[in-house]
Amino acid sequence: MSNRGKQEWIRESMRTPGILIFGMVLAPCGLILNLTSTVAPNWRTLHNLPNSASGFTVMQGIWDICTTTSSSSYNYNCGQEDSAYFGHQVIEVAQGMMVASLIVTLVGLIVAIPGVRCWKNNPNWTVAGLAGLLIFISGVLTIIPIAWYTHILEEVTSVPPSVTVQVGYCIILGYIGGIMEVLAGLVMFIGICRCCGGKNRGEVRVEQPQQVSRAERPKPAPRRTQPPSLSRPRSELSSVAYSSNYDDVSIPRAKTTAWSVDSGVNRKPYDADL
């Protein structure tokens, strides 16, 4: 079966993709900000309350109410009771959703750790995408009660017209933390699909070579070998032509003595013949 048109994707390196690094950095930061926003008693502050000392301030959160004065800004009297405030619907909803957001964020980070797997070639994109979806939901769970509380900031409890109502720092931290988690979860969830030519996952697309039968394979061209040249350059100073079958006169040779044989029988013997 031909694999024409089939493509595969490969990783360029073993480094963790940038989208997972982005999500794994923003998600814990958003968790810390949301935790501070949940437990701190400063969703709104009330100033210029009637029948109160100058500089008296009331700080209201979703779990506690504290009071302080400008002269003793480091001394807080917490544990104040206000049944009308804590009985409001937005407070009850905010308590449940903020706690749920923290739990979902922790679960998302726990799921993301085995999904990222930066010590292997390929992360588990399905698990990482599921973790991103959980983190995205946790960010939405944070933004909903904070946006609702901000919308009815002066209507949570009835206050006299002379009272100044201001947004507390918990609202600011909650907005920032919720947006961080939404961005982190969204970016991590994008890793499930390949977009931007695979660059979001650190991959490149490679086409698989087409399988060809042995009969259709082209024969390799014969290899040409150049024989070594044995020609020797002729010196311009020499007037003797050299041939291929010449005697090398540069090598000294031993002189041979020709033996003469006298065919005569009437010769006198010499001492050297004895």
| Overall fold of domain 12-206 | Butyryl-CoA Dehydrogenase, subunit A; domain 3 (1.20.140)
The amino acid sitting at 3 is: N
At residue 1 the predicted structure's pLDDT band, cuts being 50, 70 and 90, is very low
Q: What is the pLDDT of residues 196-209, one digit of tens each?
A: 555 556 566 665 44
Half-sphere exposure of 12 (CA within 13 A, CB side): 12
Q: What is the pLDDT of residues 222-240, one digit of tens each?
A: 776 666 666 666 555 555 5
* Cβ neighbourhood burial of 188 (10 Å; 0-12, 13-18, 19+): buried
Q: What is the pLDDT of residues 5-56, one digit of tens each?
A: 455 655 555 566 778 888 889 999 999 999 999 998 889 888 888 877 777 8
Domain spans of the chain, in order of start: 12-206
